[in-house]
Structure 1
Amino acid sequence: MSDEEEDYMSDAFLSKIQDVKPGVNMVRRVKEAIRKDEKQKEKNIQNRQKSYKEQEKESREAALQSSISNQNKGFALLQKMGYKAGQGLGKEGAGRVDPIPLSIKADRGGIGLEEMKKRKAEEELHHYRQKVRAKQQNEAKSLEDFRSRVRTEREERKIEGDLRRSQRSCEQLDNQKGITAPREPWYWPKDDGDDEEDPVEEEDEEEEIPELNPSDKLEIITSYLRGVHFYCLWCGTTYNDEEDLASNCPGDTAADHE
């Protein structure tokens, strides 16, 4: 080995190498960088010029924290009238002790804007509730109208069915007594040929009588059946005589037999 070449295993060479233990120097460098960064931020904050709003806020907070001095003209007048610091306002000292709280307006809205917004919101809520109430009333009315219409149609179908039954019973009982023609054409069921009418009307024909509705026809036929044949459509029974009918039949309507 020549003199120019160094022994890499000698103490002289190893002493020149810095300590590079894993992790130790890295943590130390990170902490140092963080400390320098914080110092720089503090320095920037101290050197930064405060804005007008910040200065105004600090002045306001400082003024609010300090009590009114004797140099204030208003406070001096109160003292001349007998007021003492910390005492309530008024002759008896029962009034306000603390100053009226300060309310800072931060937005650009004019005076009364919030009250106008509140009133407008209340009006909109009132109109909305009216609309909801009107809608509910209309829905309830529509539902009631639908139920009433369904109920009416059901009653009409029932009356028409009872009328057909009464017509068949009338024809059968009349034939049993030898009656060959109904008292009125609509007392018996219509035949297929009864629907054909002469389209030509005579000029001298009297004014037509208004057509009876099914309910009126049913009432007339059931009265005829009870008076002539002692028959009750609702009982489905032919009684011996009028007295037997009156004694054993609940009544002359369908409601009496429910």
Structure 2
Amino acid sequence: MSDEEEDYMSDAFLSKIQDVKPGVSMVRRVKEAMKKEMQQTEKNIRNRQKTYKEQEKESRETALQSSISNENKGFALLQKMGYKAGQGLGKKGAGRVDPIPLNIKTDRGGIGMEEVKKRKAEEELEHYRQKVRAKQQNETKSLEDFRSRVRTEREERKIEGDLRRSQRACEQLDSQKGITVPREDWYWPKADADDEEEHEKEEEEEDEEEIVELTSFDKLQILTSYLRGVHFYCIWCGTTYNDEEDLSSNCPGDTAADHD
């Protein structure tokens, strides 16, 4: 074997080869790397220069945790007046013992800004409550108006029905007494369409006169009085009485409400 060729079985060659046992060297290298990283992190934290706010906070906390010494002039005056450390303020020692806590202002708002914000928030809350109350009142009023309208429509339909019944009864009772023409046109039910057209033509030929249109309620009252006075009849009882005395004695009244 020549001198230039290496002996692969010699100790000199084997010492150059790294240990390749699985797992052992890898775990060791990882632990060492993590340890170096932690040491470097701690070193960076120690070497980092604290900001002015951090230094101010530490100084303030240190001062608050330490009690006032006898060298303080104010504390010396209190001791001359009989005050003892740990005792409450006041003649009888009933006052506060701990110092007044500090409220550090961290924002950039001026003095009184918190009160302004609080007042503004209360005003907005009150405005919201007023809007809610107004909405509830409008909803309540709308509901009441709807109920009133429905009640009015129901009453009007009932009056219309009672009027039609009274007209039919009036026509029948008048016919039984030989009356061929109603006292008023609306005392009897409306005629057929042809008769109505002829009647309208006759009215157009006559001189125009101002006529006050009666409501269904007015017509019902007038026709009820006619039926009770002439025929002794009550549409709500559905009975023709013998005379006025019989009618007044046995009929509850001259309105639908009297018969409920």
Tell me whether the two structures share a fold, i.e. TM-score over 0.5: yes
1:176: how far off? 1.1
Q: Counterpart of 1:199 in structure 2: which amino acid?
A: E
Q: After the TM superposition, which residues 212-227 of structure 1 pair with which residues of structure 2 at under 5 Å, given as runs?
A: 212-227=214-229
Which structure 2 residue ranges, 5 or more long, are not aligned? none
Match of 2:243 in 1: 241
**Maintained 8 Å contact 2:88/2:95:** yes
Q: Distance in 1 between matches of 2:48 and 2:180?
A: 123
Match of 1:84 in 2: 84
Q: Distance in 2 between matches of 1:28 and 1:87?
A: 62
Q: Distance in 2 between matches of 1:241 and 1:101?
A: 100
Match of 1:177 in 2: 177
Q: Distance in 2 between matches of 1:71 and 1:12?
A: 78
CA shift digits 1:70-106 (9 cap, x unpaired): 1111111111111111111111111111100111111
Between Structure 1 and Structure 2, how many residues are aligned? Answer: 253
Match of 1:59 in 2: 59
Return 187-196 or 228-237, whichever deviates more: 187-196
Q: Secondary structure at the match of 1:225?
A: helix
Q: Secondary structure at the match of 1:199?
A: helix
1:35: how far off? 0.9
**Maintained 8 Å contact 2:8/2:14:** no
Q: Distance in 1 between matches of 2:167 and 2:71?
A: 114
2:204 alignment partner, one of 199, 207, 214:
199
1:256 alignment partner, one of 241, 255, 258:
258
Q: Distance in 1 between matches of 2:46 and 2:24?
A: 34
CA shift digits 1:129-175 (9 cap, x unpaired): 01110111011111101111111112112111211121111011101
Match of 2:122 in 1: 122
1:250: how far off? 3.1
Q: Distance in 2 between matches of 1:119 and 1:30?
A: 61
Give the alignment's TM-score, normalised by structure 1.
Answer: 0.88
1:226: how far off? 1.9
Match of 1:43 in 2: 43
1:11: how far off? 8.5
Q: Distance in 2 between matches of 1:58 and 1:201?
A: 111
Q: Report runs of 4+ in structure 1 exceeding 4 Å deviation.
A: 2-8, 10-17
Q: Counterpart of 1:136 in structure 2: which amino acid?
A: Q
Q: Distance in 2 between matches of 1:234 and 1:202?
A: 39
Q: After the TM superposition, which residues 118-157 of structure 1 pair with which residues of structure 2 at under 5 Å, given as runs?
A: 118-157=118-157
Question: RMSD in angstroms over aligned alpha carbons?
Answer: 2.3
Q: Distance in 2 between matches of 1:26 and 1:87?
A: 66
Match of 2:110 in 1: 110
Q: Counterpart of 2:75 in structure 1: which amino acid?
A: F
Give the alignment's TM-score, normalised by structure 2.
Answer: 0.87
**Maintained 8 Å contact 2:232/2:243:** yes
Which structure 1 residue ranges, 5 or more long, are not aligned? none
